[in-house]
Amino acid sequence: MLCVQCIKNGLRWLLYLLAASAMALPAQQHAAAQAEPREGARRPKIGLVLSGGGARGCAHVGVLQVLEELHIPIDFVVGTSMGAIVGGAYAYGLSADELESSVVRSDGRRPWSSLLMDAPQRDRESFRRKEEDRGFLVDFGLGYRDGQFRLPKGILQGQNLELELLQLLPEAHDLQSFDDLRLPFRAVAVDLANGAEVILRSGNLATALRASMSLPGVLAPAQIDGQSLVDGGLVRNLPVGIALRHDVDVMVIVDVGTPVDSEEVASVIDVSAQMLAILTQQNVDRSLDLIRGTDVFMRPALGDISSADFDRAAEAVAIGRAAALLHRSELEELSVGERAWAQYLQKQRRPKQRIRIADVFIDNHSVLSDEVIKRYLHAASGEELDLDSLRVDLEDLFGRGDFERVAFELVGPDEQEKDLIVEVEPKSWGPTYLRLGLALEADFRGQSGFILAGQINRREINELGAEWRTDLQVGAQSGFNTEFFQPLNTDGDYFVSANVGANTREIDAFSGTKRIGFYDIRSAYTNVSVGLFAGNWGRLSARMTRLSGDIDAQVSVPGFTGQDFDDAFLSLEYELDTLDNAEFPFRGVIGAVQYVSAEPALGATEDYEQIAGSGAAFVSAGRTTIGLLATVESVLTGDLPIYRSSTLGGFLQLSGLERNSIVGLNKAAVAGIVRQQLRGSVEAFGFPVFVGLSCEAGNVYQHRSDLFRDLRYGGSTFLGLGTPLGPAYLAFGLMNGGDKAVYIYLGQIF
């Protein structure tokens, strides 16, 4: 009996062990599969499908981060618009963390919001383009070519975006197939000619991505193989069907599209946006019908993040991570073990390598000579390629204002040595450009003035970049000026220019603070200048001017009935401009110093010398800006003609006084301002809004020895608006003597 019982107990324990082993076997097998797949075993082919959505597409980066953390390999990538940019960069070989660095840009690089603007950073603009910015003329993008007035193909040309993509993906040019990337990739675009879907599968990867994101009417179409291509979201914002055509077993699908707004549609812009959202949603719904039960679909809860909110990129990335983690259990079924993951990374990651430049070529479609373009480039054959330096060079080249597109390619079979090809395309609406402007000033004392102005600028007259610019204006100051400007060398450092012009302006006459009359000054002039540029931030010039005119009293001015005058003088002038913004600067310096010597031998009726200087400097911390403005004018010798008298009064020039209400031969003035940009003003009003105050001191003097004596003090509070017509101000000024003034001002101040 004892033996029988022992046998029974032994059998019972044996059964327990067998059962436990059977229960543990699947887990062991799963662990083994995770550690290393069996030889010959096939893992599912995984496709990644990324939708368009503008800034909302930054959520794709957060999803990719989770996929990498869970060791989920991707075998095929397809994307539309921002989904194409993120997906294409990942297929190129960038990691999810590198993509986060690119979209969040916490390292001080230009934010993505500025990358979607065409204008170069102002420190990259040429000095002549800065000079135009300082006027009150507005560039509406109107040009004249082949007997027709023309407009750009889009509000934006995509220059900064393309340079960003080229720098991000420098070795993806002239690809026979996007299957040759680290991961096979496709992007979706639309042929603007017929509305047909175009699947981009070869060529220049950066251009393909830009095409997929070119929203019609906003971003100019991309030209690929003779086709004008625009945003693929119009026909397939969620390209599920394309992934299915590539026989993927499982799709990871991320939809970040902007949902249809159920709020009231109140404007034409709202109507357009709503129609676009409806059309996009309709094609997304068709794609959703193709999703299978084995696929992983996620729609990050992006809430009120709009397609333009690139300043919320970090938030969108975090939301993408959260959305992916909600599907963790589904995603973990697709993960692989350490060895398989290491093999995948070796395949997906593009190794960092140095590229040597074999030679530099210029693909030039403009009138400018290749030598003019080459002078902007510091890259040379035999040197190692520095992408950051190359980008700065191309931004400087674009800052000339002559080109619609500036780009580069790296070509050649050798992975470590490539030819650098720089491509320049002139503006399709040039080379003649038209600008219009309006300036307005009113002080609520019955005094007001306005100026309507226009400018015609014919550029690229010859291979050195000569220009013929004509300015016309009517109103409080009427006149014209026409200038021919000729660079003297391919570097563009030296120049000669000639001007012819005439103007009429009205000057009020005051006794104390009482207006006693006014007079008109009419003059005509010619001048010739020679000079040189100090990079794109300074200019030194010497000028000879011949001028004649008359002064007529229009309302009785005691002791003055009028006079004719002739003047001829030599002048030497240095100008400086490093402002980051011409309208509401946050940092930088602007100023000019001029020495004038009238020469009776040249025809001047008066013999005098004068020196004048003015400038402004700005620094900022966050939204707060501090500025310092100063001006000094002094007669060194002789008698200054009345038309060159110094005046003070007006906004930021003793703001409590009427404009030009105190007159003298010499003047000195200084003003300090503090300005605060209102948070959320751009989002709320569509333009920046500022509040500020100023403290001012100054006076005019008959004698140079009296400069800075008996200063008058004042100040102002003001509201500033960045309108489409230029900066606008509403200001209240007050003087220490009780004088006060209220201003409405439209036009440049600095």
What's CA 247's distance to the chain center, in Å?
41
**Residues 558-567: what's their mean pLDDT?**
74
Diameter over CA atoms, the chain? 146
Read off the pLDDT band of 512 (50, 70, 90). low
- Residue 615's identity, in one-letter code, is G
In the sheet that holds 417-426, the strands lie side by side as 356-364, 417-426, 403-411
Q: Is 145 exposed, middle or buried (0-12, 13-18, 19+ CB in 10 A)?
A: middle
Whether 622 has a pLDDT exceeding 70, the answer reads yes
Q: Once rounded to an integer, what is the mean pLDDT over residues 585-612?
A: 93
Residue 726 confidence class, pLDDT cut points 50, 70, 90: confident
The residues that bridge with 700 in the sheet, in sequence order, are: 667
Residue 364: half-sphere exposure toward Cβ, Cα within 13 Å: 15
Question: Per the structure block, which two tokens stand in for 732?
Answer: 């209240």
Nearest to 158 by CA among 101, 221, 104, 100: 221
**Is 39 a residue whose pLDDT tops 60?**
no
- Record the tokens describing residue 434, joined without a space: 């038209």
Q: Which backbone phi and psi does 342 adopt, to 5 degrees?
A: -60, -40
Question: Which parts of 558-623 are beta strand (E)?
Answer: 560-577, 588-598, 608-621
pTM here? 0.81
What's the mean pLDDT in 584-591?
96
Question: Residues 427-449: pLDDT tens digits?
Answer: 989 899 999 988 888 876 666 77
Query: pLDDT, tens digit, for every residue of 75-88?
Result: 999 999 999 999 99
Q: What is the DSSP letter of 235?
A: H
Among 48-57, 282-291, 462-471, 490-499, whose mean pLDDT is lowest?
282-291
* Residue 547, pLDDT above cutoff 90: yes
Question: Over the stretch 347-376, which tens digit does the pLDDT of each residue have?
Answer: 999 888 889 999 999 999 999 999 999 999
**Mean pLDDT confidence for 522-536:** 95
Q: Give the Cα separation of 424 and 1 in Å (integer).
A: 101
With a cut of 90, say whether residue 561 has pLDDT above it: no
Classify 2 as helix, strand or coil.
helix
| Percent over 70 (pLDDT), the chain | 87
Query: Average pLDDT of 257-283?
Result: 63
What is the average per-residue pLDDT within 699-725? 91
On the question of pLDDT at 41 being above 70, the answer is: no
Calpha distance 439→419 (Å, rounded): 50
pLDDT beyond 70 at 19: no
| β-bridge pairing 538-557 and 560-577 | antiparallel
Q: Which pLDDT belongs to residue 389?
A: 93
Relative orientation angle of helices 59-69 and 96-104, to the nearest 10 degrees: 160
pLDDT tens track for 651-710:
999 998 888 888 888 999 999 999 999 987 776 677 899 999 999 999 999 888 888 888
Q: What is the mean pLDDT of the chain?
A: 86
Sign of the CA dihedral running 616, 617, 620, 626:
negative
Q: Tens digit of pLDDT for each residue in 144-160?
A: 888 888 878 766 777 88
CA neighbor of 60 nearest in space, from 345, 316, 350, 335? 316
pLDDT(488) > 90: yes
Report pLDDT for 278. 73
How many residues can be counted in the chain? 750
What percent of the chain clears pLDDT 90, i.e. is strictly above it? 58
Burial 665-689 (b: 16+ CB within 10 A, else e): bbbbbebebebebeeebeeeeeebb
- pLDDT for the residue numbered 514: 63
Distance of alpha carbon 282 from the chain centroid: 33
What pLDDT shows up at residue 683?
Answer: 63
Beta bridge partners of 664: 646
Distance in angstroms (rounded) separating the CA atoms of residues 301 and 321: 11
- Mean pLDDT to the nearest integer, 55-75: 96
For residue 40, the model assigns a pLDDT of 45
Residue 8: the pLDDT is 44
82, 55 Cβ separation under 8 angstroms: yes
Instruction: Judge contact between 410 and 419, C-beta under 8 A.
Output: yes
Residue 441's pLDDT is 82
